[in-house]
Structure 1
């Protein structure tokens, strides 16, 4: 038994050591501590509730303090890409073969984080729950999982690796209970590749006040459904007013898709959408370009 424990301990130490140069600490005045994972030389991925392109943030790497700059931020998921200043000593995370699949319950893993400027920390955990499709912010993802153990400060963005050092997921919510969960590596990489390719996505707004309503018999016949979102008010000078939307209009769908139970789907600033509306007994299609949220 002692030999087994010693071998396991040595293996865990080697795994943590293999990740040390691939993590950065992010945090400073007004920026809660979190972890970034180096995805390529000079570029780290993390999470943030808000960010601005070009915004400078303090980081700590294996070689000491440095400065990072926001290269892209996804307002739907919170994922962010941080460009590290030249000379910061980092290396992409270990190229250990990974499945990208959600690990089943009972799988032993390590949460490895650069949780504070003091250095890398690690926590041995067991996958306690493995779930199917869910949402990351406003974006659908194919799966998620949770591990046992508390939510340590600074572990947001931490790497979750197996005992061979392969990345199995990333901590994308770091609160105790069901709010703390992990995005599988495959879904995380896919989201980052899309963010890198398309650039920042900022939540959009139309400048309208809405309320769900049940339609009258005549309205339901014209709309082909029995419920809609009624425009209760329009913000002067906003995208909706410029597009011609009026109080009393009934929104039936967006870009050819019917509305779900949650109301309008996520909108991106600058990405045109077409609102299908019912005005009186007439169905219309109104193109509108969402604006950035203030």
Structure 2
């Protein structure tokens, strides 16, 4: 038997060896595309980083932008920049402060020897930012923090013109301000409907970072409706990874067609420079604040006079509630609308105008949109019992007249 099988073994072995050599030399013979590599798995752990006088001005006429087309993306954004950039201005603000001549003057022991004649000197503090020309009437939108406390505000246009600006009004709670400049033939930016901005849309930031001059950076819309950041009382930010640095505040965030989608306001940074997390106030909110500041001199918001605390599962269980819907009233402003309606600390507010409450800041924003004098139905739970009350919405006090609160106030 061995004599008969031995002549067959060697041809078989030789055939297998030849097949292996051919497959190694010509892998396409196996039917597999050699250009496609096998998937690999990265097993490395993920690194986690850590009341003013009455104002009777007409509302400014702004230029509305057409809807953004997403059919095809351009290879260059130079046309968009050319449409928008002339309307983005540099803002230089300055104020004079008193400073003591010597650090020892801060010590009461040394100060007593000088009495009221403590030597002092004046010095000039300067800051820079950006702004956006909204109408050919000369209205400029910027951030409140850019011009806060300024004694003089200078606006420089891209075409080389410079002029002093007047403050029409400010709204610290949204961090917006409106300036007015008196120049002719002003470039004006078109304003888009910021509710149409979608995550993934290309976004360009224009401003004056670090005072180097007008600069354009590009990114995308990273998120919309960002809140709970602790930046402003009213937050509904557009988040972008377009580089935003000090000096960009008040500048424009535009879409690929050069229309304004937001006012650059803040960055999240551990180093002080851009780390790809910037925030812009949506153009729709900026337009609303602009109109109110121009026509009324202030922003009028609805107000209940309560301090609200977020509901947690532990609090819900202690109140005998089945869900975490609603907010806990932790404080009542004396003589405010809620106080006059009989609300008490410890009440759980579960519905406003028939709508279930999910978030303390969200309900604050909803109430702010209600006109003062409106009769507003509320549903609440007190000592485990459901109650329905109706109160008259008041006007939210300004930041200057209201005492600072640690919790959201509605």
* TM-score, length-scaled by structure 1: 0.65
Does structure 2 conserve the Cα–Cα contact (< 8 Å) formed by 1:159 and 1:167? no
* TM-score, length-scaled by structure 2: 0.50
Distance 1:110 1:256 in 2: 40
Deviation at residue 111 of structure 1 after TM alignment:
3.8
Secondary structure, in 3 states, of the residue corresponding to 1:133? strand
Higher strand proportion: 1
Distance 2:317 2:389 in 1: 19
Deviation at residue 36 of structure 1 after TM alignment:
0.9
State how 1:193-212 maps to structure 2 within 5 Å: 193-199=287-293, 200-201=298-299, 204=303, 206-208=305-307, 210=309, 212=311
Aligned to 2:340: 242
Cα deviation, 1:138-197, whole Å, max 9, x if unaligned, reads: 3546x64322x4x33211122345788x246445234233541346xxx51x33333344
Are residues 35 and 260 of structure 1, via their aligned partners in 2, closer, same or farther at CA, if it must alter by over 3 Å?
same
Aligned to 1:27: 93
Aligned to 1:286: 390
Aligned to 1:4: none
2:264 aligned with 1:153: no
Higher helix proportion: 2
**Match for 2:168 among 64, 70, 74?**
70
Deviation at residue 27 of structure 1 after TM alignment:
2.4
Distance 1:226 1:114 in 2: 45
Deviation at residue 110 of structure 1 after TM alignment:
5.7
Q: Structure 2: which 5+ residue stretches go unaligned?
A: 1-74, 96-124, 268-273, 403-410
Which structure is larger by alpha-carbon Rg, 1 or 2? 2
Deviation at residue 17 of structure 1 after TM alignment:
10
Does structure 2 conserve the Cα–Cα contact (< 8 Å) formed by 1:207 and 1:235? yes
Cα deviation, 1:48-75, whole Å, max 9, x if unaligned, reads: 25999xx986132343340222346373
Secondary structure, in 3 states, of the residue corresponding to 2:380? strand
2:380 aligned with 1:277: yes
Distance 1:119 1:17 in 2: 21
Are residues 37 and 21 of structure 1, via their aligned partners in 2, closer, same or farther at CA, if it must alter by over 3 Å?
closer
Are residues 227 and 94 of structure 1, via their aligned partners in 2, closer, same or farther at CA, if it must alter by over 3 Å?
closer
How many corresponding residue pairs? 264
Does structure 2 conserve the Cα–Cα contact (< 8 Å) formed by 1:201 and 1:268? no
Are residues 177 and 257 of structure 1, via their aligned partners in 2, closer, same or farther at CA, if it must alter by over 3 Å?
farther
Distance 1:115 1:83 in 2: 22
Q: Structure 1: which 5+ residue stretches go unaligned?
A: 1-7
Deviation at residue 247 of structure 1 after TM alignment:
3.2
Distance 1:98 1:197 in 2: 16
Aligned to 2:22: none
Distance 1:132 1:110 in 2: 15
Does structure 1 conserve the Cα–Cα contact (< 8 Å) formed by 2:147 and 2:153? no
2:173 aligned with 1:173: no
State how 1:67-106 maps to structure 2 within 5 Å: 67-71=165-169, 73=171, 75=173, 77-84=174-181, 86=182, 88=183, 91-93=186-188, 102=197
Aligned to 1:256: 354
Are residues 153 and 249 of structure 1, via their aligned partners in 2, closer, same or farther at CA, if it must alter by over 3 Å?
closer
